[in-house]
A = this chain, B = another copy of it.
Amino acid sequence: MKVNVYVTLKPGVLDPQGKAIHHALEGLGFGGVADVRAGRFIELDVVDGTSDADLEAMCAKLLANTVIENYRIERP
């Protein structure tokens, strides 16, 4: 079973990677960009029947730093 996990910085947390992408886009002539936020996207292939609690634990313990990041679990 495929599970997608999206990890994003919490609002208000500085995002130097996003800032760098924004700056580079402007340098390439793409002026119509107001903001860029960079995050991670993790595709997990887990055995069928993996519980939501297990997926939550994977995110909270390893995949995301919950002090500064939010995560979203999506079962397609």
Contact = CB atoms under 8 A, between A and B. Distances in A.
A38 B33 CA distance: 26
Q: How large is the interface on A (under 10, 10 to 19, 20 to 34, 35 or more residues)?
A: 20 to 34
8 contacts: A7-B41, A21-B42, A28-B62, A33-B45, A33-B47, A36-B45, A38-B42, A39-B42
A43 B35 CA distance: 8
A32 B54 contact: yes
B42 A36 contact: yes
Interface of A: 6-8, 18, 21, 24-25, 28, 30, 32-47, 50, 54, 57-58, 61-63
Contacts of A54: 30, 32
